[in-house]
Structures are given as C-alpha cells and as structure tokens.
Amino acid sequence: MTEIVRRIRAKGMRPTLFTNGIRATRDLLRALAEAGLIDVAFHVDLTQQRRGFASEVALNALRQDYIGRARGLRLSVFFNTTVFSGNLNEVPEIVRFFVRNADIVSMASFQLQADTGRGVLGSRPLHITIDSVKQQISLGAGVPLCFDTIQIGHSHCNRCAMALVTNNKVYDMLDDRKLVTDIVKLTAAVRFDRQNRAALVRTFVKSLLSSPTILARGMAWVMRKIWMARADLVGRHMPGKFAMS
C-alpha cells in the first residue's frame, strides 16, 4: 500500500485513504504518511452494525480511538457518517464531538442515506433531507452556519460549511460570500501543501498579497472575527479549522 501512495504522490496527485479503520493501525498510518499520504477518511456510523455500539454517540469511543491513531502524523483526518432515521437525532452530539476534536479532525462529512451499493436501508425517508441535516449540524455547532457560500460537488447532493473552532466555540468562516468567492477565484490555480501547515499559510498569504484590495477586505474580516472570539482566543484550547458537509 505504501508503494501505491508513493506512486500516486510521484505523479503529482493527492493520495487519500478511505477506510472503516479496522486495519488502519498507528504503524500503518505512520508508514503511509511517510510515503506521502495526505488525507485519511474514517467511515464510522450505525449502518455498519459494529458490535458493542448501540447508538451513534456510543461510537464516539471508536472515533476517539481512530483520532488517537492519527494524532501527531502529517495527515488530515476526516470522518464520514451516513445519516438515516436511526441517527438523525444524534447528529448534533456527533458534531459537538468533532468540535471538541477540531485540532485533529479537519472535516466531517454527513452523507444522506442512499439506496446504492451494498446498502440495506432502502429508500431514504422524506424527513432525511439536505435541509434537515444542515439544521442538525448547525444545532450541534451552536451557531448558524453558511452552507451555500461555496459549492463542492453536485448541487443536488452537496453542501459545505467551514468554521474556526477555538475553546470549543464555533465561528463561521463563510459568512462573507463575496469575499470568499473572490479568494477562491484568486487562488484557483495555486497549489497548497496540505501536509505542511506553515507552508500552506505562507502560500495563502503570498496569494493574497498579489491583490491588495482582497487582502484589505480579508484583514478587515479577520479583525472582526478576532474581536468576536477575543474571549475564546485566550482560552486554554488551541484553535483549529473545521469543515462540515
């Protein structure tokens, strides 16, 4: 597997591992990270019928174990959760778990139940919708999140929100649609090193410096966020960036 990762990375692509985590040991993840793996996405939810876990919240113990395996490695950690009737009401608590672990978890993907592949749930109930899941995610985040500022994937299937988490408090990062759109256009062709946060920040700042107008607007936005989060920024928890879809 490490040779596959090296091959993909050598071709300039971004190797990503999607796994249920059962065989993703700490040693394997370390070896894959050293070979050039960038992302690891753990799929954990009740639809997998894992023994010993009676609720979605109970599965947080397993998620915490997986987080521990990846902690300290040069990996972006994602989690995928299928949303169905059996866990829709637990989505807010799952979001709170991801918020508490935002220093490690870069993205949480909540995927609506679909009658595809080896699924056994059948057709999705009418109450499982993009809007109902967005509402549950925002409830767990403790703040309304902007899911329509940027579009990732098919518009009938996907929504994306981004947040800054500090001291377990969530602050929306996509609340200025015009600014976000202009930054996306400015950096569309820029290649970011997502395994090196310092290098990523330097590249991003360098891109902004090429457009003084966008830089000024961005700085004004940053100052507003700092003022809003001033009490939490001096709290004991380190900040982290967190995306939800």
Cα(104)–Cα(240) distance, integer angstroms: 8
pLDDT band at residue 237 under the 50/70/90 scheme: low
Q: Is residue 228 part of a domain?
A: no
Of 195 and 9, the one with more pLDDT: 9
Cα(69)–Cα(245) distance, integer angstroms: 24
Q: Is residue 166 part of a domain?
A: no
Alpha helical stretches, state H, 83-236: 91-100, 130-141, 177-186, 197-209, 212-228, 230-233
pLDDT band at residue 240 under the 50/70/90 scheme: low
Of 116 and 48, the one with more pLDDT: 48
pTM here?
0.88
Q: Is residue 7 part of a domain?
A: yes
Q: Is residue 24 part of a domain?
A: yes
CATH of the domain at 121: 3.20.20.70
pLDDT band at residue 245 under the 50/70/90 scheme: low
Q: Is residue 16 part of a domain?
A: yes
User: Is the per-residue pLDDT at 151 higher than 90?
Assistant: no
Cα(60)–Cα(65) distance, integer angstroms: 8
- Over pLDDT 90: what percentage of the chain? 74
Q: Is residue 43 part of a domain?
A: yes
Domain that holds residue 14: 2-142
Q: Is residue 169 part of a domain?
A: no
Report the domain count for the chain. Answer: 1
Q: CA dist 26 to 101, 190, 222, Å?
A: 18, 32, 37
User: Is the per-residue pLDDT at 212 higher than 90?
Assistant: yes
pLDDT in tens, 90-127: 999 999 999 999 999 999 999 998 867 666 677 888 89
HEC string of 78-115 equals EEEEEECCCCHHHHHHHHHHHHHCCCCEEEEEEEECCC
Q: Is residue 81 part of a domain?
A: yes
pLDDT in tens, 195-205: 777 888 899 99
pLDDT given for residue 60 in this prediction:
97
* Average pLDDT for the chain: 90
